[in-house]
């Protein structure tokens, strides 16, 4: 009985210590932010308009393909990554999958005013211009048509890695994605991205370990919430695409997660059996002395 009382005291103080330095301290170190909003309520998006994909195709051909490739429908990149990064500051995205990975309202709002939708207007206050011009002169219906077209050509299914490549890799390297081959380096060369963003965006190899999954969702959905003033744009990923990005970060940064979770059961099971036998043996031995 006395042993249990002592154990209760030890457990209580250990628990208090743990609570103090982990959950409690973390609420003080990392202030709570509102949950991610995957509907992008704040943007000036489609406002209920339905687009016509066929008309959208024409608008895209005359407005977008001068800079953007759309490999899915036969518009290859006009320049290689190094040259286009030097020309635009950052490699422009291929639009083949935009209709799938980005929220439709966000996409419409981005076409209208990229800096505003991406919440990076603070970067372009001193006369610098966003690499993509605003299409706020365009009729809302035409923008809706463009969005409808992009949705019509987008694939129905994408792998986690494909979503990551299209959503993140223009700026971010993820070295552990191809440690020896180097194919997962950022598409935009360091010098260009540094002058565009102010810093070289961090390598994402270990983000899943250095940030919690919850933090990553909050941050990707709206970087300004956790890092006010950051140069990272809000990219407008749908909830599904964002999950796929985080899953890719897990596959790369915590590749042994499944093995860890599978090994835990047998390991702890063995120890429980060991503890039971140890306890029984102890009782047997101590019966002789008590």
Partner 1 sequence: MAEIKESFFSADGLEKRLAGKKFWKTMMTEYWIPKDINFLWAMGVVLATTFAILIVSGIFLLMYYKPDTALAFDSVNYTIMQEVAYGWLFRHMHGVAASVIFLIIYIHMFTGIYYGSYKKGREMIWLSGMLLFVTFSAEGFSGYMLPWGQMSYWAAAVITNLFAGGSLEAWGLVEWIRGGFAVNDATLTRFFMLHVFLLPLVIIKLIVVHFYTLRIPHVNNQSSEDIDYDAEAEKYLAGNKKESKVIPFWPVFLSKDFAVLGIFLIFYFYLVFFNYNFAMDPVNFDPANSMKTPAHIYPEWYFLWSYETLRGPFFDMFGLKAGDIGLMIFGFAQAAFLIIPFIDRDPDILPAHKRPRFFIWFWIMIIDLLVLTVYGKLPPTGANAWVGFYATAVFLLLFASMPFVTKADAKARGAL
Chain contacts with partner 1 (rule: CB under 8 A): 2-3, 6-7, 10, 13-14, 16-18, 20-22, 24-25, 28-29, 175-176, 179, 202-203, 205-206, 209-212, 255-256, 259-261, 263-264, 267-268, 271-272, 274-279, 281-282, 285-286, 288-290
Nearer of residues 55 and 225 to partner 1, judged by Cβ: 225
Cross-strand bridge partners of residue 237: 102
Q: Smallest distance, Å, CB 228 to partner 1?
A: 12
- Shortest distance (Å) from residue 153 CB to partner 1: 36
CA gap 101, 236 in Å, rounded = 8
Q: 88 or 176, CB closer to partner 1?
A: 176
Q: Judge contact between 58 and 154, C-beta under 8 A.
A: no
Question: Which letter, b or e, does each residue of 216-230 get, where b requires 16 or more Cβ atoms within 10 Å of its Cβ?
Answer: bbbbbbbbbbeeeeb
* Residue (151 or 206) nearer to partner 1, CB: 206
The closest of 123, 77, 149 to 234, measured between CA atoms, is: 123
Query: At 8, which helix (H) or strand (E)?
Result: helix 2-19
Question: At closest approach, how far in Å is the CB of 130 from partner 1?
Answer: 26
Closest to partner 1 by CB, 34 vs 265, is 265
Beta carbon of residue 156, minimum distance to partner 1 (angstroms, whole number) = 32
CB of 148 to partner 1, least distance (A): 41
43, burial (CB in 10 Å: exposed 0-12, middle 13-18, buried 19+)? buried
Q: Would you say the C-alpha torsion 204, 196, 94, 43 has a positive or negative sign?
A: positive
Nearer to partner 1, 10 or 128 (CB): 10
């Amino acid at each position: 009985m006395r042993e249990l009382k002592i154990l209760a005291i030890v457990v209580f103080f250990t628990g208090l210590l743990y609570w103090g330095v982990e959950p409690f301290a973390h609420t003080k170190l990392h202030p709570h932010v509102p949950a991610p909003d995957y509907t992008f309520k704040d943007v000036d998006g489609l406002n209920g308009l339905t687009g016509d994909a066929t008309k959208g195709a024409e608008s895209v051909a005359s407005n977008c393909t001068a800079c953007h490739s759309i490999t899915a429908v036969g518009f290859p990149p006009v320049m290689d990554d190094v040259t286009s990064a030097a020309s635009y500051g950052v490699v422009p995205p291929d639009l083949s999958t935009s209709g799938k990975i980005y929220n439709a309202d966000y996409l419409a709002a981005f076409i209208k005013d990229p800096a505003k939708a991406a919440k990076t207007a603070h970067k372009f206050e001193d006369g610098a211009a966003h690499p993509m011009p605003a299409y706020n002169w365009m009729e809302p219906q035409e923008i809706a048509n463009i969005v409808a077209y992009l949705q019509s050509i987008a694939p129905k299914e994408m792998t986690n890695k494909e979503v990551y490549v299209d959503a993140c890799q223009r700026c971010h390297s993820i070295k552990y994605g191809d440690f020896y081959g180097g194919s997962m380096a950022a598409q935009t060369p360091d010098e260009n991205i540094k002058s565009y963003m102010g810093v070289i965006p961090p390598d994402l190899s270990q983000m899943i370990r250095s940030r919690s999954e919850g933090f990553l969702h909050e941050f990707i959905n709206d970087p300004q919430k956790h890092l006010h003033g950051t140069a990272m744009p809000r990219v407008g990923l749908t909830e599904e695409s964002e999950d796929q990005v985080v899953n890719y970060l897990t596959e790369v940064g915590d590749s042994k997660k499944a093995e860890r979770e599978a090994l835990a059961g047998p390991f702890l099971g063995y120890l429980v059996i060991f503890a039971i036998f140890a306890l029984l043996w102890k009782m047997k031995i101590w019966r002789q002395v008590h």
